[in-house]
Amino acid sequence: MAQDPYTVLGVSRQASADEIRKAYRRLAKQYHPDRNQGDAKAEERFKAVSGAFDIIGDAEKRKKFDRGEIDADGNERATMGGGPFSGGGAPRGWPPRGHAGGAGAGQTGFDDISDIFGDFFGGGRAQGGPRAGGGRRPMPQKGRDIRYRLTVEFLEAALGIAKRVKLSDGRDIDVAIPEGLRDGQTLRLKGQGQPGVSGGAAGDVLVEISVTPHAVFQVKGDDVHLEVPITLKEAILGAKVEIPTLKGAVAIKLPPNTSSGVSFRLRDKGLKDPKSGQYGDLFAKTKIVLPEGKDSQLQDFAKNWETNLGNPRDGLMGSS
């Protein structure tokens, strides 16, 4: 049998309708399952508080309870002409004046308690709250979401991969990283979070992706950029050189007299846009690299090299 509803709500039997309402509001917030995930005692306490308010938060039910016509569960019970606190008739002066079970109590009942549950659910009558003139219906609640931060290598995110991770609740789940996922993006795995309450949907798992930088590739939007070192000989005479891409090496042809800083564009060799399915481009920029240390042959070549290039820095400082 349920506890005395006045005791559950911590109010006196002479409490006004407003006092009962405030007590219920405070306790419902304190023990609500949304604030006490996984706490069975808090859930039971919340049910008891809701049950108590269902009895004395309703003007007619409160009058019946005070007269001994129903018990704390709201069930009808036989009486011998007396209330629950005396052997023959209610105490003199009971219910007290202004009591929700006394004269005029119908004007201070709780037919509309939407503002109480509005704190939790954004307004409107809560499906699981007490209902005027009837019993209580458990309110479906979505389960709690679980957050997880997953670090992946650049190429794993660029090409896509499946990862198995262990969540905070001890479960192992598989996370499919789609091709082209970017640093800071979040994957939502629907229905894999904590189970719902009273038939509510399960929560989700939110996986925030952290992508480690790559030693060679730099990302700008959907495009990938890299710097390609070339020798002086390759720059002067031209050459076919291999360069890396996200999906393996390819060869590009350098024309003769290729300077440093020349970019070669490889279409559709960049990152995939997960939304559009289109690929960005890869830009390979040349960088002439000279040998380390003193090279006498190269020095002799430079001293004797005649060129009509002139001064490549002409105009760099602007006109004076």
- Segment 117-147, tens digit of pLDDT: 444 544 444 444 444 444 566 788 888 899 9
Amino acid at 85: F
Q: How many CA atoms lie within 13 A of 168 on its CB side?
A: 11
CB count within 10 Å of CB 265 equals 12
Supply the pLDDT for residue 318: 66
pLDDT above 60 (res 245): yes
Answer with the residue of higher pLDDT: 268 or 64.
268
At residue 209, φ and ψ (nearest 5 deg) are -95, 130
Q: How confident is the model at residue 260 (pLDDT cuts 50, 70, 90)?
A: very high
pLDDT above 90 (res 168): no
Residue 83: both structure tokens together: 């209330």
At residue 68, φ and ψ (nearest 5 deg) are 85, 15
Residues of the chain with CATH 2.60.260.20: 146-211, 218-304
Strands 282-288 and 223-230, by their bridges, are parallel
Supply the pLDDT for residue 231: 93
Options 3.40.50.300, 3.40.50.2300, 1.10.287.110, 1.20.120.420; CATH for 5-121 is 1.10.287.110
What average pLDDT score do residues 150-177 get? 92
What average pLDDT score do residues 147-176 get? 92
The pTM for the full model equals 0.53
State the Cα–Cα distance between residues 278 and 268, nearest whole angstrom: 8
Supply the pLDDT for residue 40: 84
Answer with the residue of higher pLDDT: 110 or 69.
69
Q: What would the pLDDT profile of 282-314 be if each residue is shown by its tens digit?
A: 999 999 999 888 888 888 888 887 776 677 777
What average pLDDT score do residues 40-60 get? 85
Residues of the chain with CATH 1.10.287.110: 5-121
Q: What is the mean pLDDT of the chain?
A: 81
Options 2.60.260.20, 1.20.1250.20, 1.20.140.10, 3.90.550.10; CATH for 218-304 is 2.60.260.20
What is the CATH T-level fold of the domain 146-211, as seen in this structure?
A: HSP40/DNAj peptide-binding domain (2.60.260)
Q: What angle do CA 44, 47, 51 make, to 5 degrees?
A: 140
Torsion of CA 112, 115, 117, 119, to 10 degrees: 180
Q: What percent of the chain has pLDDT over 70?
A: 79
pLDDT above 80 (res 185): yes
What average pLDDT score do residues 19-35 get? 84
